[in-house]
């Protein structure tokens, strides 16, 4: 599964509980209230466990986590340490 799908799946099942809400790859997660800081951290822990990537605290920024696309792009960049 690509990182993007992985995130999408997590948000659908764990956050939205398949409640019928749709979420797009570029939708604002934080500003629209889909995720708050606490939920993002949970997502971070999930991603670390499932992608084998360590996400240092200083990388958990608005820029990197504003949308599913942004998160996937962050994970896919070569500097993210496996």
Partner 1 sequence: MTHPVQQTPASDIWIDATEQQSNLTRSQFLFWLGQTRYPDSPLYNIPFAFHLTGKLDVDRFQRAFAAEVSSNDALQTVVKVSNNIPMQHVAEGQVLAKLIGGARNLPFIDFRDDDDPATSARQWLLLHARRILRLDERMFDSAMLAIGEEEFIWFLNQHHLITDALSSLKILDRVMQAYADPQQALAEQPSFADYALKERRDRVDAQLEPARRHWRNQTMAESDELVFYGIRPSHTSPTSELVELKLDATESNALNRIAESTGMLSKDLGLFCVYAALLASFVARVTNARKFVIGVPLHNRMDLASKETPGLLVEVLPLAIDINDGDTFQSLLQRIKANSVQMLRHAGSGSTTPDAGRKCHVVLNFFNTPFKTVDGLKVSTEWMHPGASDAEHKLRLHVHKYDHEAPFKLQFEFNCGAFDDAKRKLALQHFGKILSAFSSQLDQPVLQVNLLTADERDRFINRFNDTDTPYPTTSVLELFDQQVKMAPDRVAVNEGNRTCSYGELDAQATALAIDLARRGAAAGALIPISLGRGTEAVVAMLAVLKTGAAYLPLNPFEPPLRLSAILSDALNSTFRQIGPLVTMANLPTPDVRIDRLDIQLADPGEVDSALAVQRRSHDAAYVIYTSGSTGTPKGVVVEDSSLANYLLWARDQYTHGPVDFAFHSSPAVDLTITSLYLPLITGGRIEVFHEEGDQGEIPIVNVFKADNVDAVKLTPAHLNILQSLPGKARRIRTLILGGEDLKSSNVRGVLDKFPADVRIFNEYGPTEATVGCMIHKFEATRDQWISVPIGMPIANSRIYLMNEAGQPVPEGVVGEICVGGAGVARGYLTQADETAARFVQNALEPDGRLYRTGDLGRWSHGARLEYLGRDDGQAKIRGVRVETAEVQAALQDHPGVSDCVVILDDPAKRQNVQYCASCGIPSNHPDVQFDSRGVCSLCIAYDQFKKQAQSYFKTPSEFEALAKKIRSDRQGEYDCIALFSGGKDSTYMVYKLVQFGLRPLAFTLDNGHISDGAKANIERAVKHLGVDHTFGSTPHMSEIFADSLSRYSNVCNGCFKTIYTLSVNLARQKNIGYIITGLSRGQIFETRLHDLFRHRIFDSATIEQQIINARKIYHRMEDTVAKVLDVAIFANDDLYTDIGFVDFYRYWDVPLEEVYTFLRERAPWVRPKDTGRSTNCLINDAGIFVHKQERGYHNYALPYSWDVRLGHKTREEALDELNDDIDVDRVRDILRDVGYAERKAAGSDDNRVLRAYYVGDPISDAQMKAFLSERLPSEMIPSSLIRIQEIPLTPSGKVDRLGLPAADLNASREDYTAPRTELEERLADIWQRILGHERVGVFDNFFDIGGHSLPAIQVISRISEAFDIDLPIRSFFNAPTIANIAETVENMLIEQIEQLSDVEAERQLTDIQYD
Site residues for partner 1 per CB under 8 A: 14-17, 19, 21, 30, 36-42, 44-45, 57-58, 60-63, 65
Of 25 and 60, the one with the shorter C-beta distance to partner 1 is 60
Rounded Cα distance, 55 and 75, in Å: 9
Of 2 and 37, the one with the shorter C-beta distance to partner 1 is 37
Residue entry with tokens 């939920």: 39
Q: Which of 37, 14, 34, 38 is nearest to 25 (CA)?
A: 34
- Confirm if 16 and 23 have CB atoms less than 8 A apart: yes
CB of 12 to partner 1, least distance (A): 11
CB of 17 to partner 1, least distance (A): 6
- Confirm if 35 and 60 have CB atoms less than 8 A apart: no
Of 17 and 78, the one with the shorter C-beta distance to partner 1 is 17
CB of 24 to partner 1, least distance (A): 17
């Amino acid at each position: 599964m690509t990182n993007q799908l992985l995130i999408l799946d997590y948000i659908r099942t764990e956050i939205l509980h398949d409640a019928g809400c749709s979420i797009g790859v570029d939708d604002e997660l934080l500003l629209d209230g889909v995720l708050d800081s606490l939920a993002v951290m949970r997502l971070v822990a999930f991603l670390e466990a499932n992608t084998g990537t360590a996400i240092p605290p200083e990388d958990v920024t608005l820029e990197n986590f504003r949308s599913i696309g942004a998160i996937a792009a962050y994970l896919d960049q070569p500097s993210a340490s496996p």
